[in-house]
A and B are shown apart, each in its own frame.
Chain A
Amino acid sequence: MSQDPNHRRSPGRSPGNQSRPPRGEAQLRGPFLLCFGSAILWLLLASVLGLIASLKLQVPSFLNSECLTFGHVVAAQKNIFIYGWASNALFAVNLWLLSQLGRFELRNGWLATLGGLVWNAALAYGVVQIFAGNMNGFNLLEMPREVGPVLMVAFLLVGFWPIVAFARRPTGHSFASQWFVVGASFVFPIVYALTQLLVLWCPAAGPVQALAHSWFIQNLMLLWLGASGLAAVYYFIPKVLGRPLHGYYLATVAFWTYFLFAGATTPSSLLGSPIPVWVQSVGVVASIMMVIPIIITAINFHGTLFHRGGWAQAWNSTTLRFVAFGAVSFTLAGLLNTVFSTRGFNATVRFTEFAQGQEQLLTYAFLTMVIFGAAYFILPRLTGALWPSAKLIHLHFWTTSLAVIGSVAVSLVHGYQAGHQLLNPAVTMAQVGSSSLALAGSVFAVLFLIGHLAFALNAFSMIFSSSAPADSEAQSD
């Protein structure tokens, strides 16, 4: 990997700011806290809606009204989770990461703040419109089409700063986290704009709309959320452990293969749909090729953690406990995605709860847990305060980790069993519908809500108790 000859640090070690004061963090504080604070509020709302959706699966007459149909609640919950929680949090974390790695001092931070405000206002409008029934029929594009251009402009204002930070970095060397964040920030607005055009503004012909939509979902999940999450893992594992990443020289291959194949996996989620068969085959091949970056990132992350008591250190560090949980989940999600993109397995599990489990493995068990880990590291440094309650941190970890393990396991197992049974045409859908599955979903939704409340309480207590950015290294662990 490219290294500045003037810098003698070992390859794979996060450059960080071990020996310098946190310059520029004062400028970061406003936009960071706006984005992360609103992300937490959106997460709480998504948790409540997730609970309502679970209860509706259990008791369909629960809160039954035209405003709160299952379709509205699920669409609003997903949009809030992805655009409200995950994207807002990633704006904040990506900006912080790149400013640390590139020694970037944010000037004109008001632009980022404005972008954050516009993003949240547009999202709030879009969610209200979903409940009002003014929605589209495409997953994560349900908000009315006029919201799209506003979100685009807001993204350029708030989400583009990592690229500026990379371009203006004073040193020549670069680190894996920077490539992944730059890639994610570069790809997402282009994909979002093209999809809006092909699906909502100038709809493509027939099922090509579905293909364009699927392309958007894959890019959103893997290249915006996934790549941003990977950037954080690449940063925090060596940073907290204090040693270089195992096999770091392979990270370049992981980066390029990840970005090359992720977009091409699109048709693998449309196997059997009315799109050209050759396109479906390309999707299957790309999904199998995705095993290359999955294995390399596993070598980088787990190889580092397996050396010299890394797992024990990870367990004793709040940040790394969450991040390591996310890293393991990413590997599992990638391998599952590869295996279940093949035609035989896909025919079994398609349209079942299995897909929900896969999505939750990526967006929650991986990404959200990594964001939590990043928050435990960054917030004390930005606020100059310590986390108020260790008990709430423990409660947060245990509730969210148990809930996501249980929820993903139940979705995957039940989805596979139901799909397998439904291959027999004599078995009806009512026979495979499980009330115990719905009950388990409600229990896990309550656990998620408790964990998120604990996190929100801790985070907002710390934010409101501080008034100035840190001038010394505050420790979260």
Chain B
Amino acid sequence: MKNLNFLFAGLFLTLALPFGGLLLSSQIQLGSLSRAPAEEGGPLFPAREPGLAIQGRAVYRELGCVACHTQQVRPAGQGSDIARGWGSRPSVARDYVLQPQVLLGERRLGPDLANFGARAKSDDDIHTLLRDPHSAGYSLQKPDFAYLYVLSADGKKAQPTERAVALVAYLKSLRQDYASPEAKLKQ
């Protein structure tokens, strides 16, 4: 260990092995993935997000929602995500090919959102969930996003701002309820 070059060579090797073996090989394996139909001739999935949802994704990121919510459904046997109704199949790499920044998340203080769009009811319900979650019967731990709403001219009703509308569009676009070549839907 007297020789600095020997030390650097060894350190470089310890760095290069996981980088090449895990990251680059994963990039080679998954880098060419693109949208695909579940069956020959069928529509391509994942579907492209509408423009409003793309704006909503930025709002989701800016508010730091990823601190409490994940967007990944684990396979059966690794947690109860599917049994809980958060998805009808595990998430696969192809589900994320259109996302410029993949927000898988690391902590669940709230439910997983990978399939929020598939289980959401209406825009009004989602707005209520964001503006006043406690009145909507949600966990007391969920903060409200009342600052995304303004009072109407008569001062009686809360109106969503453009950002709230975009956020709702994004949440509704979160769906992994299609079959993909790697993961069939649970029957």
Contact = CB atoms under 8 A, between A and B. Distances in A.
B101 A429 contact: no
Contacts of A256: 10, 14
Contact of A74 (B30, B62, B64, B108): B64
B74 A272 contact: yes
A133 B58 CA distance: 10
Interface in B77-133: 77-80, 83-85, 90-97, 99-111
Q: How large is the interface on A (under 10, 10 to 19, 20 to 34, 35 or more residues)?
A: 35 or more
A204 B4 CA distance: 33
A425 B83 contact: yes
A381 interface: no
Interface string A263-275: 1101101011111
Given A208-B30, A215-B23, A429 B111 contact: yes
8 contacts: A60-B141, A60-B143, A71-B63, A211-B26, A260-B14, A274-B72, A356-B107, A425-B80
Given A205-B31, A206-B96, A206-B97, A266 B141 contact: no
Contacts of A198: 23
Interface string A198-217: 10000111111111100100
B57 to A, nearest CB: 9
Contacts of B15: 187, 190-191, 263
A352 to B, nearest CB: 7
Contacts, number: 214
Nearest to B92: A274
Dominant SS among interface residues on chain A: helix
Interface residues of B, number: 73
Given A205-B27, A205-B32, A206-B102, 5 more contacts: A186-B11, A260-B14, A279-B26, A429-B110, A433-B139
A207 B102 contact: yes
Nearest to A4: B2
Nearest to A168: B4
A425 B161 CA distance: 36
Contacts of B21: 264, 282
B22 interface: yes
A351 B29 CA distance: 26
Contact of A274 (B25, B27, B95, B146): B95
Interface stretch (A39-47, A172-180, A324-332, A396-404): A172-180
B49 to A, nearest CB: 15
Contacts of B111: 429
Interface in A409-436: 422-425, 429-430, 433, 435
Contact of B104 (A182, A252, A273): A273
A146 to B, nearest CB: 16
- Chain A CB within 10 Å, residue with most, of B8, B23, B91, B94: B23
Given A61-B144, A137-B103, A276 B26 contact: yes
**10 tightest CB-CB pairs across the interface, nearest first?**
A71-B64, A272-B74, A133-B62, A71-B67, A263-B18, A60-B143, A206-B96, A425-B83, A272-B78, A351-B108
